[in-house]
Each structure stands twice: as C-alpha cells, then as structure tokens.
Amino acid sequence: MLSHSANLAYIPQYGHVKLNGVIVWQSAWADANIINSRGVNVALVNTCNCSVVEPFRQFDTHAQPSAGMELNDYLQQVDYGAVVIGVSADSPADIPVSNYLQQAYPALNAIGVDVSDVLVRGAFGFVAQKGLPDKTVLRKILTETEAFHNPPHFNVTVVGRPTLQFSFLCGLMKRVSDGCTGHAKKQNPNEFANLKNYGGILSK
C-alpha cells in the first residue's frame, strides 16, 4: 500500500493498493491520466478470493461537510472480524480551515486508527480487523513536507480464521489454505474473541 499527498508545486504524487500484484485502487496528484481520489478511501477484503468485496469507497473529508460522518457510519456498519483497508489521497483534512475528518474519529479510533494529528496534505494508510484494534497496522505522515518526501507505505502479514491465512505486501494478499467461509457475518462478538488466539495481524 502506498498513499500520497498533494503539494503546492504541483509535482506529481502517486498512490496505490495491490492485491496479488494487481492494482485495485490508485490515485495521483497532478497527473491528468489518473483520478485524484481526495480524502479517505476504504474497502473490505474478501479473504476467500483475494479481492475487495466492492470497489473502494471514496470519502472526500477534505472538502465535503458530510464525508466524515458518512465514513464514520460506514465503518460502524462493517461486520465484526472483517478486514478493512484504508488509504488517504491528496489531503484527508483541511486543517485549520475545516476538519470534516474529525466526524469519523470515533469509528476510526474504534478500529485502532488515530489520525487526529494528521494535518492538511498529510497522509496515512491502515489495515485493520474490526473488533481487534490492537492488531491494526497504521502508518501516518503528519505534514505536507514529510508526506512529499516519505509517503506512508508498509508491509503486513495477516492471519484470519484457523483454516485461512493470507498476507499483505503493499496490499498484496494470498490465500494459502482451504476451508474459507467468507468474510465474517454479524454475530455475537464473543464468538470472534478467539480470533485473537489465531494471531490476527502477525507482523507490522
């Protein structure tokens, strides 16, 4: 996974998420050939076929007043145990002019994603499993200057249920065992407590 920010010099910046080496999301600043998906972009992972459940949802928390609350509502409705990918582009907030992203802080914090210190044209990316915030992998760069020189990017290895294992490498995921039953459905959270024993996110 690679996120990107914007810059006043209009120097191109690029971001992407890959699954099994295939780009499933991309964005760019100052490149007319690639859409700039400003704000926060989120998708759920289908752990059975190494894909996203549906195309990434874009929440323009930089400019749209309702985007933060929409992101908050989306994350709250995610099934317990589901794996969530999030990546920012351009600028996730317009601090100090406005901070629509703060409306999503409750749901983000609940999955272990604290981005309250990310400023205008900062950047971040995360992989989280709903209900297991201690397993979340988050990389964030707070300012435009830092994000220009060192945009957030990371590798993660994740284990789901006992019969399913997959790994992330810049968004790369690979199924290596059978018995997959699909992404978790809404059930009693206690039924998912044992996921902690299966390792969750193994390395960051």
Residue range 78-110, pLDDT digits in tens: 999 999 999 999 999 999 999 999 999 999 999
H or E element in which residue 56 lies:
none
Select the more confidently predicted residue: 48 or 104: 104
Q: Which of 143, 141, 132 is nearest to 195 (CA)?
A: 132
Distance CA 61, CA 44 (A): 19
Q: Tell which wins on pLDDT, 22 or 26.
A: 26
Q: Is residue 4 part of a domain?
A: no
Residue 25 lies in domain = 13-203
Give CA torsion, residues 187, 190, 191, 192, to 10 deg.
Answer: 90
Assigned domain for 1 exists: no
Q: How many domains are there within the chain?
A: 1
For residue 2, being part of any structural domain is answered with no
Compute, in degrees rounded to 10, the torsion defined by CA atoms 50, 162, 75, 3. -50
User: Do the domain assignments include residue 126?
Assistant: yes
Residue 181: count of CB within 10 angstroms of its CB: 12
Mean pLDDT, all residues of the chain: 82
This model's pTM is above 0.85: no
pLDDT in tens, 121-142: 999 999 999 999 999 999 999 9
Determine, yes or no, domain membership for 5.
no
The gap from C-alpha 93 to its chain's centroid, in whole angstroms, comes to 16
